[in-house]
């Protein structure tokens, strides 16, 4: 369980932007002309990007990364807004820019997040989201209304506009393509760009997007479900439930590999594990069975929407990374919500008693209106040829894949062009942005680039484990992968994409 928690937190803090770095081979530096080096880096001024402050620092080639100019700046579009940005401009540039999202309640300006793009010749754009704190669960900065607006929607857009201006000045020519990728909070930022600023990027990847406050409310209501009675689980109890769910549904895709390819078609009932007497290591107490049923089913808000998104069967052993499965009624995001919700609502909130009425009030606030990236009408983005790639791990215990599925359906219903310009992929067995037993390493950036450069819309993404132990095809939603019964399961040719049964 500690492994899943560590992976989830690392992915969250990193903004989950580099999970495909192991899959793609970076072109050699000789593929691109050397366009700008240390001399031009030292000449960077605030005027080159419309910043209140800016400076360039040359970073020599090392550790597999090319030499690049690192520009650190502050953007202040209005009084009270101080958006930190970092641009990394490789000496040998491929003519394209790559914007990167953050994680949790923070932005991300780390070199680690930019490394894949730099190796491939992209000029990378990053922001702290409007506040410098990198602690993913700290929301104390939200007392500044301009910082709240920056994090909700403004910081990434301002980063992008200024970055494009800087690139044109630095390389003495404009960019040719602009891409954005992010997961979790970065996925919400990605959708916000497509919705509010359709001209900013040519292709966008949004992974496990935390695009509405239903993610936060889902966490609260799940915690409440496990806190009722004796509904808390030990790690061994979670593994017991997962093993039983896998036994019931794993083999339905033709291979027993520890993954459920179509978990919403798995109806395993935890009642089969209910103890007939006292609780033992081989059975579950009645309150535990009730808690599982509640979390699998989810809950509505009484107005046709979700209050608590369902979680998938088959990923239970990793739930404690984002859910208070131990029955305490709290998870690691608890402190962030205790601070943020009173700011948004103007009153204190007892999360242990948080109700549907509280959720409705929260989602009607001005904060919700500027934070949520739920608009499915992407016609302006698609009209200029924009491409959107959605993806989500089926075993994600934070934002549920059900929410992303709902958004994908809404986009398809709102914009006919989405049939060609949007693709959504589910990764069986993958946790929040990465981790879990599934094939979580996918060449998302290369896919965006090939698609934007005139290639066909992707119908399959090949996923791998970093250690090479597993290779699986991920099919475009709503299809799922099924083993043909012939060949090696680690050969994607041994699978076909079929309608969800």
Same domain, 39 and 122: yes
Residue 245, domain extent:
214-369
Q: Are 196 and 188 in contact (CB under 8 A)?
A: no
Q: pLDDT tens, 210-222?
A: 999 999 999 999 9
Provide the pLDDT for residue 40.
86
Provide the pLDDT for residue 39.
83
Q: Are 128 and 87 in contact (CB under 8 A)?
A: no
Same domain, 129 and 23: yes
pTM to 2 decimals? 0.94
Q: Which of 345, 347, 355 is nearest to 307 (CA)?
A: 355
Provide the pLDDT for residue 3.
44
- List C-alpha distances in Å: 200 to 5, 163, 180, 384: 34, 11, 9, 11
Higher pLDDT residue, 414 or 33?
Answer: 414
User: What's the mean pLDDT when you consider all of the chain?
Assistant: 93
Q: pLDDT tens, 438-477?
A: 999 999 999 999 999 999 999 999 999 999 999 999 999 9
DSSP annotation of 27 reads P
Q: pLDDT tens, 371-389?
A: 999 999 999 999 999 999 9
Same domain, 266 and 150: no
Same domain, 194 and 240: no
Same domain, 151 and 184: yes
Arithmetic mean of pLDDT, 242-258: 97
Which ranges constitute the DSSP H helices of 111-231? Answer: 111-119, 145-149, 155-171, 185-196, 214-227
Same domain, 87 and 120: yes
Q: Which two tokens stand for residue 475?
A: 């099919």
Boundary of a domain, candidates 310, 336, 369: 369
Same domain, 219 and 286: yes
Q: pLDDT tens, 79-93?
A: 999 999 999 999 999
Proportion of the chain above pLDDT 70, given as a percent: 93
* Cα dihedral sign, 198-201-207-213: negative
pLDDT over 60 (residue 160):
yes
pLDDT over 60 (residue 19):
no
Arithmetic mean of pLDDT, 48-65: 95
What is the C-alpha separation between 172 and 377, in angstroms, rounded?
36
CATH code for the domain in which residue 205 is found: 3.40.50.1820
Q: How confident is the model at residue 37 (pLDDT cuts 50, 70, 90)?
A: confident
pLDDT over 50 (residue 2):
no
Same domain, 51 and 176: yes
pLDDT over 80 (residue 18):
no
Phi-psi label, residue 486: left if phi above 0, alpha if psi -120 to 50, beta otherwise: beta
What is the C-alpha separation between 158 and 81, in angstroms, rounded?
11
Helix axes 356-363, 334-345, angle to 10 degrees: 60
Q: Which residue has the tokens 């359709």?
A: 198
Provide the pLDDT for residue 11.
61
Same domain, 197 and 235: no
Same domain, 195 and 66: yes
CB atoms within 10 A of CB 26: 17
Q: How confident is the model at residue 423 (pLDDT cuts 50, 70, 90)?
A: very high
CB atoms within 10 A of CB 271: 12
Phi-psi label, residue 118: left if phi above 0, alpha if psi -120 to 50, beta otherwise: alpha
Boundary of a domain, candidates 343, 369, 395: 369
Provide the pLDDT for residue 153.
98
User: CA 14: distance to chain centroid?
Assistant: 10
Higher pLDDT residue, 19 or 291?
Answer: 291
Q: Which two tokens stand for residue 356?
A: 């549907």
Q: How confident is the model at residue 34 (pLDDT cuts 50, 70, 90)?
A: low
Provide the pLDDT for residue 29.
43
- What's the number of domains the chain is made of? 2
Same domain, 129 and 208: yes
Beta strands in 226-335 (DSSP E): 299-300, 306-308
Q: pLDDT tens, 356-375?
A: 999 999 999 999 999 999 99
pLDDT over 60 (residue 158):
yes
State the DSSP string of 342-397. Answer: HHHHSS---GGG--HHHHHHHHTSHHHHHH-------HHHHHTT-EEEEEEETT-S
Boundary of a domain, candidates 340, 369, 398: 369
Same domain, 191 and 241: no
Provide the pLDDT for residue 187.
98
């Amino acid at each position: 369980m500690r492994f899943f928690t560590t992976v989830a937190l690392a992915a969250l803090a990193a903004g989950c932007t580099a999970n495909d770095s192991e899959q793609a081979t970076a072109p050699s530096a000789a593929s691109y002309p050397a366009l700008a080096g240390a001399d031009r880096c030292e000449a960077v001024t605030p005027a080159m990007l419309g910043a209140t402050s800016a400076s360039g620092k040359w970073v020599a080639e090392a550790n597999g990364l090319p030499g690049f100019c690192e520009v650190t700046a502050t953007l202040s579009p209005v009084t009270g807004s101080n958006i930190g940005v970092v641009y990394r401009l490789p000496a040998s540039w491929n003519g394209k820019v790559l914007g990167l999202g953050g994680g949790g309640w923070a932005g991300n300006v780390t070199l680690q997040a930019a490394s894949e793009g730099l190796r491939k010749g992209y000029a990378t754009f990053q922001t702290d989201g409007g506040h410098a704190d990198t602690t993913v669960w700290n929301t104390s900065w939200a007392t500044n209304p301009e910082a709240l607006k920056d994090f909700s929607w403004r910081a990434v857009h301002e980063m992008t506009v200024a970055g494009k201006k800087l690139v044109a000045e630095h390389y003495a020519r404009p960019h040719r393509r602009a891409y954005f990728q992010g997961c979790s909070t970065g996925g919400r930022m990605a959708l916000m760009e497509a919705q509010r600023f359709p001209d900013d990027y040519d292709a966008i990847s949004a992974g496990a997007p935390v695009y509405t406050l239903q993610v936060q409310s889902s966490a609260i209501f799940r915690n409440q479900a496990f806190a009722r009675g004796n509904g808390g689980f030990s790690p061994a109890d979670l593994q017991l439930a997962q093993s039983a769910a896998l036994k019931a549904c794993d083999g339905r895709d033709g291979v027993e590999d520890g993954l459920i390819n179509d978990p919403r078609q798995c109806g395993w009932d935890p009642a089969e594990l209910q103890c007939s007497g006292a609780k033992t290591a081989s059975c579950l107490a009645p309150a535990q069975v009730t808690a599982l049923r509640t979390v699998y089913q989810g809950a509505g808000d009484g107005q046709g929407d979700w209050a608590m998104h369902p979680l998938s069967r088959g990923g239970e052993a990793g739930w404690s990374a984002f859910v208070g499965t131990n029955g305490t009624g709290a998870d690691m995001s608890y402190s962030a919500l205790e601070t943020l919700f009173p700011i948004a609502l103007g009153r204190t909130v007892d999360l242990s008693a948080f109700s549907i009425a509280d959720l409705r009030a929260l989602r009607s606030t001005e904060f919700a209106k500027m934070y949520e990236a739920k608009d499915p009408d992407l016609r302006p983005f698609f009209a200029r040829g924009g491409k959107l790639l959605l993806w989500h791990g089926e075993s994600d215990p934070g934002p549920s894949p059900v929410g992303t599925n709902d958004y994908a359906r809404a986009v398809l219903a709102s914009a006919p062009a989405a049939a060609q310009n949007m693709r959504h992929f589910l990764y069986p067995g993958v946790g929040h942005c990465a981790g879990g037993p599934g094939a979580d390493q996918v060449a998302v950036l290369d896919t965006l680039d090939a698609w934007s450069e005139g290639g066909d819309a992707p119908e399959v993404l090949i996923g791998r484990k970093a250690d090479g132990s597993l290779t699986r095809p991920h099919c475009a939603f709503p299809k799922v992968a099924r083993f043909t019964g012939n060949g090696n399961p680690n050969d994607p040719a041994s699978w076909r994409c079929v309608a969800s049964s």
